[in-house]
Amino acid sequence: MLRPYISVASVAIAPNAPTANLTSVTTQQMICPGCRAEIPLGSAFCPACGNPSPTVITNERVAAPPPSSPAPEGSGGQGVRPTAERLARALGPKYQVKRLVGRGGFAEVYELWDHDLDRRLACKVLHPEIAWTPGMLVRFRQEAKALARLQHPAILPIHFTGDAEGLVYYVMPFVEGESLADALRRRRSYSAEEALQIAEPILQALAHAHAQGLVHRDIKPDNVMLEANTGRALLVDFGIAKLLDPGAATAGGGAKTATGFTVGTVQYMSPEQALGAPNLDGRSDLYAFGAMLFQMVTGAPPYDGNSSAEIVGKHLADPIPVASDVNARIPRWLSDAIVKCLAKRPEDRFQTADEALAALTRGRAAGSAKLVAAATVERQVRRSGEVRFRPGRFGWWVAGGLALVAGGLLLARGAGFVGTGVAFAHNALVEPVEILLDGAPIDTVRPEGTARLALLRGRGDGGSHAELRWRLLRPGNPPIGEALEGPLPAFRSLRGRRVAPIVAEVGGQSYFAPLVTNTSATDITIEVNPGTQAAVRCNCLVPKGAVRTHIGYYRLYRNSTIAAYNNAHPYAGPHADREGFAPRVAPRSGAVVLTF
């Protein structure tokens, strides 16, 4: 039960108070790729047209925008020419800039005509406010050389790059067709077979690139082109997200810059990329690929929300959605492969694109056989004469069947499906619990684990059940958080078993377990429900860079808040607050991910 608490004190940070020691995840101001309206900070969608927004997640201030390019000769210093005109001057007379063909989250695409070779080309011009960062041009040329090594039929190559007239751009072949994002907007979803025809060449392209040590970093439907004439899928913008990331290694191979940020789209971003992990590998691409494949067969990304922060939180903490639960026509083997791609931890995913491709190939082969009804099989067997029913053998069949039934009953009783002597306790919490009988511990149940309890006659349903209790094993030494203990809940029938569920509620009071991710520049300490009679200090330290740190369980109210302080000045001075998270708390486990 969620109850409001009454605040007896409140603390506010003065507008000019220093906050450099504790910074939260923020987003750079973005422009809608569809209507060019400004997208508010933290929004996952354009408020004007509803278009999803590419997001730049940062834990520090972004680099200053580029210096304005010099006014062209003859302009009298009256401003800067339009982008198309500036691009034409940058490319020279060999190329004609014909038209603007599209806008993306970080670039505009123009159609070119190559006069020397009589061919159509496409030129992507990076938005200066994103592209121009310290050391950008040096790294841009270096990365372009690396990308030139990619030779694969499903990867759209880069012909050449350039920078002039205040623009940074690269030129590639012109593809007549549409993006996968446009196709999904038009038709919503694909059948499993159609989705695999697109997904398999993308995996092959990723396998080729990963073998060269290159990671895409921005797999999403917008970066997959579908050629109009052939229908083949092409992966575009390979490595561009890294080019736009000033946190990558500098020209001299030195440390990351202090203003590092991660470029990507939150609906498809892996947890480690969202948290700004410095060394992403191919498994991050496989996560994004899984999110894209999920959308292809269900019509929607696996996680969505009203803000970038909400979507990132779901990537970090929410259960992995099962595609076949959304669309029953999706084969289970395909749904299982998507779940494996979307594992929270990289080590739990497919380790290579080849491994993911092999799983899809095996599933496709196994699922391609035509299903045959049991009645059809029976008729075929009877016609073949392979089975003859003889009266002399019928008794043996009956005896064998009875023996199997008896053995099954014994196994079912031992597993708790029949009989009254066996029951189970399931721990839905994120911390282990002890099972107590008459005050003495008899078993320990791990998080999300189930323990088999051998109950004595008369205990379990109406006898001495009140003597069975559970107790939370709190994290830390000394233990942190609030102590939880209560009677073992009443046993319920679950899939034929009698199970007592242990959830985050004792005596009608709900509790929650904040899993704290610290992206700030300092170690922090936490106070729960500050300024109220329910205030509890964790007396713990969450180191910088920590991900989903457990700090115990605390009482949950509709307006619960958490304050994070710089550990150098605990519970004093500037702090960062998190509030309004009560609706996001998992009802059974009480878990909620909070990022500072």
Q: Where does residue 445 rank: exposed (0-12), middle (13-18), buried (19+ CB within 10 A)? A: buried
Token pair, residue 468, equals: 């069975």
Q: Report how far residue 68's alpha carbon sits from residue 75's, in angstroms, rounded to the nearest whole number.
A: 14
CA angle, 529 then 531 then 535, to 5°: 45
- Alpha carbon 224 to chain centroid, angstroms: 19
Which residues 6+ apart lie within 8 Å of 187 measured at CB? none
Q: Where are the alpha helices (DSSP H) in 134-256?
A: 136-147, 180-187, 192-211, 240-243
Does residue 287 contact residue 281 with C-beta atoms inside 8 Å? no
Would residue 523 show up in a list of annotated catalytic residues for this protein? no
Say how many C-beta atoms besides its own lie within 10 A of residue 386's C-beta: 8
Token pair, residue 425, equals: 């306790």
Does residue 585 contact residue 548 with C-beta atoms inside 8 Å? no
Look at the block and give the residue holding tokens 């709900």.
510
Per annotation, catalytic residue among 114, 118, 182, 218: 218
Backbone angles phi, psi at 64, to 5 degrees: -65, 150
Q: Could you give the 3-state DSSP secondary structure of residue 497?
A: strand
Q: In the chain, count H helices and then E strands.
A: 14, 30
- Alpha carbon 557 to chain centroid, angstroms: 28
Q: Report how far residue 270's alpha carbon sits from residue 285's, in angstroms, rounded to the nearest whole number.
A: 8
Token pair, residue 528, equals: 């729960």
Look at the block and give the residue holding tokens 């029976």.
378
Token pair, residue 51, equals: 């278009």
Which residues 6+ apart lie within 8 Å of 478 measured at CB? none
Angle between helices 180-187 and 282-298 (to 10 degrees): 20
Q: Report how far residue 160's alpha carbon sits from residue 221's, in angstroms, rounded to the nearest whole number.
A: 24
Token pair, residue 382, equals: 């009877």
Which residues 6+ apart lie within 8 Å of 317 measured at CB? 515, 548, 591, 592, 593
Distances (CA, A) of 187 to 5, 230, 455: 48, 19, 57
Q: Report how far residue 24's alpha carbon sits from residue 389's, in angstroms, rounded to the nearest whole number.
A: 75
Say how many C-beta atoms besides its own lie within 10 A of residue 375's C-beta: 8
**What is the chain's length?**
596
Which residues 6+ apart lie within 8 Å of 35 measured at CB? 46, 48, 49, 51
Q: Where does residue 379 rank: exposed (0-12), middle (13-18), buried (19+ CB within 10 A)? A: exposed
Q: Which residues are catalytic?
A: 218
